[in-house]
């Protein structure tokens, strides 16, 4: 099957039920997408598929055929997407493990809704768990990024 990953054409010939996460990490060495829970509940593996935030551990390769996948590495080649810049400005990460998924979720939200309300931000980000409890800084960074997108 054919798909695009970070704007590059890729071919996958393995098990169509394999989760996208393992293709990204093991076959393409795109390790910014993290393994967390393995069942799509924590958000550590969030990527964009055709612009929508999805959990890479819970979507099979067969569901990505002909689609465009963007990982944290492809969000901005130089790390200067407005959400990434806001993350740095607000000093969001503590341990950093969940941050690629948090950033990808926030970027998808702001791409769809540049004027997201506080409630919409909280609802959208609720599925992304931060074990360090950086939620206030995450929220603040999303508000800063919203001014730049």
Are 114 and 134 contained in the same domain?
yes
Q: At 133, list the tokens.
A: 């409890």
| CA pair distance 106, 119, nearest whole angstrom | 14
Are 7 and 70 contained in the same domain?
yes
Contact status, residue 100 vs residue 132, Cβ threshold 8 Å: no
Are 67 and 95 contained in the same domain?
no
DSSP string, 51-103: TEEEETTSSBGGGGTT-EEE-HHHH-TTS-SHHHHHHHHTT--SS-TTHHHHH
Residue range 97-103: average pLDDT?
Answer: 97
Going by C-alpha positions, the residue among 100, 53, 98, 95 that lies closest to residue 79 is 100
**HSE-up of residue 6 (Cα within 13 Å, Cβ side):** 13
| CA pair distance 34, 7, nearest whole angstrom | 20
pLDDT band at 26 (very low <50, low <70, confident <90, very high): very high
% of the chain residues with pLDDT over 70? 100
The pLDDT tens digits of the residues spanning 43-75 come to: 999 999 999 999 999 999 999 999 999 999 999
How much is the pLDDT for 111? Answer: 98
How much is the pLDDT for 55? Answer: 98
Are 86 and 46 contained in the same domain?
no
Q: Look up the pTM and report it.
A: 0.96
Are 88 and 26 contained in the same domain?
no
Are 86 and 141 contained in the same domain?
yes
| DSSP H or E stretch at residue 4 | strand 2-5
Number of independent structural domains in the chain: 2
How much is the pLDDT for 88? Answer: 97
Range of the domain at 45: 2-74
């Amino acid at each position: 099957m054919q798909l695009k990953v970070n704007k590059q054409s890729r071919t996958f010939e393995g098990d169509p039920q394999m989760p996208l996460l393992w293709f990204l990490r093991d076959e393409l060495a795109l390790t910014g997408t993290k393994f967390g829970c393995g069942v799509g509940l924590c958000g550590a593996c969030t990527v964009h598929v055709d612009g929508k935030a999805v959990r890479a551990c819970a979507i099979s390769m067969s569901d990505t055929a002909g689609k465009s996948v963007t990982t944290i590495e492809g969000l901005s080649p130089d790390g200067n997407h407005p959400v990434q810049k806001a993350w740095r400005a607000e000093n969001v990460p503590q341990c950093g493990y969940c941050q690629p998924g948090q950033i990808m979720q926030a970027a998808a939200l702001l791409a769809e809704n540049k004027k997201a309300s506080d409630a919409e931000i909280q609802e959208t980000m609720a599925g992304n768990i931060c074990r360090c409890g950086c939620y206030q800084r995450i929220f603040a960074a999303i508000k800063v990024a919203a001014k730049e997108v």
